[in-house]
Amino acid sequence: MSEEKNLWEKIGEVAETLNTEARYEAAKQLYAGIGVDTDAAIEKLSNVTVSLHCWQGDDVRGFDTDPSKPLTGGIQTTGNYPGRARTPEELMADYEKVLSLCPGKKKLNLHASYAIFDEGGFVDRDKIEPKHFSKWVEFAKKNGIGLDFNPTFFSHPNMKNGLTLSSPDEKNRKFWIDHGKACVRIAEYFAKETGIPCVMNIWIGDGYKDIPADRKGPRERYKDSIEQIISEPHDPKQVKITVESKVFGIGVESYTAGSAEFTLLFAATHPGILPLMDNGHYHPTEMVSDKISSLLCYFDEIALHITRPVRWDSDHVVILDDETKEIAKEIVRNGDSLDRVNIALDYFDASINRISAWTVGFRSLQKALLMALCTPNKEFKKLQDTNQLTKLMAKQEELKVYPFGDVWEEYLLKNDAPSELSWYNEVEKYEKEVLSKRV
Ligand code: RNT
Ligand code: ZN
């Protein structure tokens, strides 16, 4: 064990003695040769906001229900790695650690279940108010970041028979509509306080394990419920309401009310509402990278949850895999798409160090975006449009061995983030000094 550690430490030391400036200059010239301005790519990515979810830090448990109860609503975390954040203070400290390890502009993505109830005690989800989130606003301001928000339609005793906004029980459905409306008011408060628009995402896990007798009824009720929620007065420029689809969940394998067609058509027919695609929420061979451009033909803005589904919607940590790279290309290469796609991360792994999980996911997406920006997109498009498809394949493959790592290091340097070979040491230190003491 200690020998192994020496090896990694040594690599870090060697890296520090290498002249990164010279390496970047050489890389820059190579990329310039194919028409890519790496300085411009770095500058551009430094201004792209990625919304980083709070829920990787505590396995999606939140603070408003009994933490010993399992998650419900078709989502699950697996693993029991020590060090989970148990209080708002611990979650905030962990989140700040992650911020310090990640380059680029961030936004904090919160769920309603992360309300903090120290002023005036507990209230249920239909009664939450801005004051229950004032500590999060303070936290966002301190870190100079915006806030996104999500009503929490899961893991709650009022999720009766697995249903919320599509429930046939009118009293129960009203509870959840009132929750949604309360969240619109909180989202507006976030936007006002931070001066940055807030994306408020509606996702429900409502559905059936087995073949339903009525598919239309739940969808009609869900439609009516969202219409009631969005009727809560708000400025759509400040509060961007999104609806997220899902094909199935654990325990709701046969039917989900919020299917892809349902949410997409809801957004298309309700001005100001944006569709949100989570790449874990489709059949395994369906690719979100192929869907983005279609949506951009019809919507001014769309939203994404970027995750890594392994055989199912498993929410593994995002890594630099092919689909993440392909999604990144779709976000950056079509003119103004970067300004039209609201990018958020959504994964949760409880089986490994959560600080590392969080950081790997964020840094991987940043790498994918920077790679996409360091691609001769115009030249490649020209090859496609002139039917030079042999050359296109060859050149795309060539690009894979360009010295991207040196451009990435320059980006990290410019954004005050630790280098690729040293960030993990920080995680180990934090685990030893902070996480391991949480018993
Ligand atoms: C679940 C959805 C949803 C959640 C978060 C916690 O399948 O992806 O976005 O992951 O709201
Ligand atoms: Zn999601």
At 5, is the secondary structure helix, strand, or coil?
A: helix
How far apart, in whole angstroms, are the C-alpha atoms of residue 439 and residue 436? 7
- Dist CA 407 CA 343 (whole Å): 22
What are 105's two structure tokens?
Answer: 């502009």
pLDDT exceeds cutoff 90 at 118: no
Percent of the chain with pLDDT over 90: 90
Task: Give the pairing type, strands 341-345 and 274-278.
Answer: unpaired
* CA of 399 relative to ligand 2 center, distance in Å: 32
Q: End-to-end alpha-carbon separation of the chain, Å?
A: 24
Taking the domain 47-374, which CATH number applies? 3.20.20.150
Residue nearest to ligand 1 atom 7, measured at CA: 75
Catalytic residue among 246, 325, 329, 367: 246
- Report domain extents, the chain: 47-374
What is the structure's pLDDT at 225? 99
Per-residue pLDDT tens over the stretch 320-371:
999 999 999 999 998 888 999 999 999 999 999 999 999 999 999 999 999 9
Q: How far is the CA of 244 from the centre of ligand 2 (A)?
A: 7
Query: In 153-196, at which residue ranges do the beta strands (DSSP E only) sit?
Result: none
Over the stretch 43-102, which tens digit does the pLDDT of each residue have? 999 999 999 999 999 999 999 988 888 888 888 899 999 999 999 999 999 999 999 999
Question: What pLDDT digit, counting tens, does each position of 2-45 carry?
Answer: 556 678 777 777 777 777 889 999 999 999 999 999 999 999 99
With residues binned 3-state (H G I as helix, E B as strand, rest as coil), the percentages for the chain, rounded to 5, are 50, 15, 40
Q: What is the pLDDT of residue 393?
A: 98
**Which element (helix H / strand E) includes 173?**
helix 170-194
Query: Residue with structure tokens 């961007």?
Result: 240
Please spell the DSSP secondary structure of 49-94, one letter per residue.
EEEEESTTTTTT--SSS-TTSPP-SS-------S----SHHHHHHH
The alpha carbon of 99 and the centre of ligand 2 are apart by a number of angstroms equal to 21
pLDDT at site 54: 98
- Which ligand 1 atom lies nearest to the CA of residue 313? 7
> Which of 94, 188, 330, 346 does the annotation list as catalytic?
346
> What are the Cα distances from residue 213, in Å, to 170, 172, 218, 238, 335?
19, 21, 11, 40, 46
Which residue out of 76, 253, 305, 349 has the highest number of ligand 1 atoms within 8 Å of its CB and is therefore the one to mutate?
A: 305
How many whole angstroms separate alpha carbon 195 and alpha carbon 48?
17
Inter-residue contact 54 to 111 (CB < 8 Å):
yes
Q: Whose CA is nearest to atom 1 of ligand 1?
A: 75
Q: For position 173, what pLDDT does the model report? A: 98
Q: Distance from the CA of 64 to the center of ligand 1, in angstroms?
A: 17
Mean local confidence (pLDDT), 110-116: 98
The CB density around residue 314, as the number of other CB atoms within 10 Å, is: 16
Q: What pLDDT does 2 receive?
A: 55
Cα–Cα dist 298/296, whole Å: 5
Task: Assess whether 246 carries a catalytic annotation.
Answer: yes
Ligand 1 pocket, CB under 6 A: 55, 60, 75, 150, 203, 244, 246, 278, 305, 313, 346
CA–CA gap between residue 120 and residue 392 (Å, rounded): 63
The single-letter DSSP state of residue 174 is H
pLDDT of residue 299: 98
339 tagged catalytic = no
Specify the pLDDT at position 5.
61
In this prediction, residue 4 carries a pLDDT of: 62
Tens-digit pLDDT profile for residues 241-286: 999 999 999 999 999 999 999 999 999 999 999 999 999 999 999 9
pLDDT band at 218 (very low <50, low <70, confident <90, very high): very high
Per-residue pLDDT band for 119 (boundaries 50, 70, 90) equals: low
For the record, the structure tokens of 54 come out as 């709070």
Residue 155 backbone class (left: φ over 0; alpha: ψ -120 to 50; beta: rest)? left
Please tell me the number of the ligand nearest to residue 112's CA: 1
Determine which one of 58, 244, 349, 409 is catalytic. 244
Ion ligand 2 contact residues with beta carbon within 5 A:
278, 305, 346
Identify any residues that bridge with 52 across adjacent strands, giving them in sequence order.
108
Q: What pLDDT does 334 receive?
A: 86
Query: Does residue 122 surpass a pLDDT of 80?
Result: yes
Residue 436: C-alpha distances to residues 225, 246, 295, 431 (Å): 44, 36, 45, 6
Q: What is the CA radius of gyration of the chain?
A: 22
DSSP lists the bridge partners of residue 202 as: 243
Residue 176 backbone class (left: φ over 0; alpha: ψ -120 to 50; beta: rest)? alpha
Look at residue 14 in the predicted model and tell me its pLDDT: 78
> What average pLDDT does the chain have?
96
Angle at 147 between CA 422 and CA 134, to 5 degrees: 110
| 203 included as an active-site residue | yes
Q: Is 278 designated active site?
A: yes
Cα distance between residue 99 and residue 33, in whole Å: 34
**Ligand 1 centre from 8 Cα, in Å?**
35
Percentage above 70 pLDDT, the chain: 98
94, 178, 232, 315: the active-site residue: 315
The answer to pTM > 0.75 is yes
Structure tokens given for 437:
């003491």
Q: Does the annotation count 315 as an active-site position?
A: yes
> In which residue are the tokens 């690719």 written?
287
Phi/psi zone of residue 59: left (φ > 0), alpha (ψ -120 to 50 degrees), beta?
A: left
pLDDT of residue 66: 86
Tokens for 155, please give them: 């893991």
CB 252 within 8 A of CB 312: no
Which member of 178, 188, 206, 313 is catalytic?
313
Give the amino acid at 100: S
Which one-letter amino acid corresponds to residue 163? Answer: L
